Amino acid sequence: MPARTPDGRYLVVRGRLWRASNPGLPEQVRSALVQALMAARREVGIARRAGDRERLAKAGAAVDAAKQALGERGPVWWTDGAPDFNRHLARNTPYADWYAALQLG
């Protein structure tokens, strides 16, 4: 399971920060959005294998919509004004010391 930053905003995968889902979403909403995301990702695979570019574009848009609704893309879900470090290498962010300690442990 990927490490999560101490503030819960990011998951760390291969040294890169990926924005976590909004923890403030009600569980039923989050669950429905995750199901929609997984269905859209399956559709992406089907469209790719079929070589159907139109279907692929629609599936990609559905993935993006689900990820935005989950808070993983688009405007940040936190309200303290902290910048977004999504997709940044952890070592190049304010999480660098935490990440270095994590690697040593």
CA-based nearest residue to 32, from 6, 66, 59: 66
Residue 77, classed as helix, strand or coil, is coil
As a dihedral over the C-alpha atoms of residue 31, residue 40, residue 22, residue 93, rounded to 10 degrees, the angle is 140
Burial annotation 46-61 (CB, 10 A radius, 16+ → b, else e): ebeeeeeeeebeebee
State the pLDDT at residue 89.
98
State the pLDDT at residue 18.
98
59, amino acid identity: A
Model pTM above 0.95: no
Beta strands in 21-102 (DSSP E): none
Q: Could you tell me the mean pLDDT of each successive run of 10 residues in the chain, 105 residues long?
A: 94 97 97 98 98 98 98 97 97 96 81
